[in-house]
Chains A and B, each alone.
Chain A
């Protein structure tokens, strides 16, 4: 009897420990939100939110500092836009090819290689963008500056192809075979079936894949920190140097920033902007993923 009781206590204790581990993820999210808001609130005591959101100059280190976030946001959106132009079409074509066309053997080889593409450290991609792609692009666009938004944008696009393709492919695979067979029975080709039947049926999953890709591109740091320059620049011209939200945080962290200064708080202000942008996309993606489950 005594043994039974002690083992019961042990079982309960273990369950409690495991529950605490699972709850740790909620604790992490709460700490992220708390710390970002806490440190950024210090920033917004000195700088008005209006100036932050509408100012067109970001020069926090100048003697006459200006705190307009727009140049960093435009830089982020510009690079993301270029990456998305590369990653979404290519990722979707790869997904259609792997899910509808490719023979088993090609799939077996292609998928691990695509996974490796996502595994290469981003600092290596940065090296590649700055010292390999930019010089090549300069042969075609002579006025391209050494640091620019174009080259890291393209590399980032290639980097996120696997994220887009694997999630889209999964959702296409979830489309029931009868739907395809129905289409084939009507005399449709694979191409027609893929684009007029499978893709519309898998729409929610593909949308979620696109959103994951965009969210990755917005949060990507090292490629842009290395190859895009460190110049807050309110422009949508891809051949000019720019700075993204993420690159700004890295740039400031590289220097020695004393704790509690306004300069220290600016990286949290940039961080919270970035966090809210990706949070919005994550929620949107979550909503799309939920719709997949409702369909099948």
Chain B
């Protein structure tokens, strides 16, 4: 019957149409996912083409200068390293402690609820607001000045939520039977945490810490706000001294600059030669973050495979 055939044809046409759309989306989806990959790739190539010829030993060991070909990033990478030490020292113990409290001790009450909401909210506050907080709190109220200590604490506050979230997630993955076994042997709560919970979750915490620090390394805005200088032609005082007690914390109060600020400074100059320096600094900065992230991804992958409860 011609009428039935018409309907069959119509159905076939619709199925073909739907299947076509399905396949089309397969391609669009793959293409969209590739956009990220392509941009990342182009960005790295662009930086290398612009900046690679400028990379040399003297670039790493020179101070910034008015002459682009003599300028280097010595004060910037030393500053970044020292600031990161302060950041880690501030955020990691505090973040782990807060995470342990929320997972192991806290009862389900309004206070816990408030802390949790607040932690989520902190993670959503723009980084430059942390810069304003630090300017008001650390620089002017606590009078820490525009110092390495201020910079490190600022970034520490910024990555605190990340450390807390990583700690909580990896503690949550530990089954209750482990805790019960420990209590059954007469261990106290703190002994259980110190001898079992923390050692078993350390890989996850470490991953979170590295990702947090890799974000802190690239943060520019809050550090500009607290008044890091863009032109620093000297190093902070050495943490190791020749006289007793052989170490000093004077460096904490020295002015500083960091890698992203040095790069920003070079980008904002009109001369092309400085842009080359910016690209070279960008390569090093990008390598630092990519290596840290790669390491974190590797750690996560490795431990996910190994631990089976």
A interface residues, Cβ below 8 angstroms from B:
7, 10-11, 14-15, 17-19, 21-26, 28-29, 31-32, 35-36, 38-39, 90, 93-94, 96-98, 101-102, 106, 110, 112-117, 119-128, 130-132, 158, 161-162, 189-192, 194, 212, 215, 218-222, 225-226, 246, 249-250, 253-254, 259, 267-268, 271, 274-275, 278-279, 281-282, 285-286
Instruction: Please tell me if the beta carbons of B190 and A131 are within 8 angstroms of each other in the complex.
Output: no
A-B contact pairs, 16 of them (CB 8 A): A18-B98, A21-B93, A26-B118, A32-B130, A90-B35, A97-B29, A101-B29, A116-B40, A119-B215, A119-B290, A123-B263, A128-B43, A226-B267, A253-B135, A253-B225, A271-B128
Tell me which residues from 19 to 59 in chain B have a Cβ below 8 Å from any Cβ of chain A: 19, 21-22, 25-26, 28-30, 32-33, 35-37, 39-40, 42-43, 46-47, 50
B123, chain A: closest CB distance, angstroms: 9
Q: Which residues of B contact A226 (CB under 8 A)?
A: 264, 267-268
Q: Is the CB of B36 within 8 A of A158?
A: yes
Which of B122, B127, B188, B289 interacts with A219 by CB under 8 Å?
A: B127
One digit per residue, 1 when the CB lies within 8 angstroms of any chain A CB and 0 when it does not, for chain B 199-216 equals 000000000000100110
Cross-chain contact of B33 among A98, A115, A278 (Cβ < 8 A): A98
Given A22-B101, A254-B224, A271-B129, A112-B297 contact (CB < 8 Å): yes
B115 interfacial contact with A, CB 8 Å? yes
Shortest C-beta distance, A147 to chain B (Å), equals 11
Taking a contact as CB atoms closer than 8 A, the residue among B19, B43, B133 that contacts A31 in the complex is B133
Does more than half of chain A's interface fall in helix, strand or loop, or is it mixed? Answer: helix
Q: List chain B residues, Cβ under 8 A from A93.
A: 28-29, 32
- Contacting pair B126 A220 (CB below 8 A): yes
Residue-by-residue, is B129-161 near A (CB-CB < 8 Å gives 1, otherwise 0)?
Answer: 111110111001100000000000000010011
Count the B residues whose beta carbon is within 8 Å of the partner chain — how many? 87
Distance in angstroms between the alpha carbons of A225 and B105 in the assembled complex? 44
- Residue pair A274, B36 in contact (C-beta under 8 Å): no
Judged by DSSP, the binding face of B is helix
Contact A19/B105 with A11-B189, A101-B25, A189-B19 known, Cβ cut-off 8 Å? yes
Q: Does B198 sit within 8 A of A, measured CB to CB?
A: no
Instruction: Report the Cα distance A254→B219, complex, angstroms.
Output: 15
A123 contacts B126, C-beta separation under 8 Å:
no
Q: Hey, which chain A residues are within 8 Å of B157, CB to CB?
A: 28
B→A interface (CB under 8 Å): 18-19, 21-22, 25-26, 28-30, 32-33, 35-37, 39-40, 42-43, 46-47, 50, 93-94, 97-98, 100-102, 105-106, 114-115, 117-122, 124-133, 135-137, 140-141, 157, 160-161, 164, 188-190, 211, 214-215, 217-221, 224-225, 227, 230, 260, 263-264, 267-268, 275, 278-279, 282, 285-286, 289-290, 293, 297
Contact B275 A131 (CB under 8 A): yes
Q: Are B128 and A189 in contact (CB under 8 A)?
A: no
Instruction: Kindly name the residue among B136, B137, B279 whose own CB sees the greatest number of chain A CB atoms within 10 A.
Output: B136
Contact B126 A18 (CB under 8 A): no
Specify which chain A residues have a CB less than 8 angstroms from the CB of B141 in the assembled complex. Answer: 35
Give Cα A222 to B26, complex, Å.
35
- Chain B minimum-CB-distance residue to A97: B29
CB-CB < 8 A to B160: which residues of A? 24-25, 28
Asked whether, in the complex, the Cβ of A127 is within 8 Å of the Cβ of B279, the reply is yes
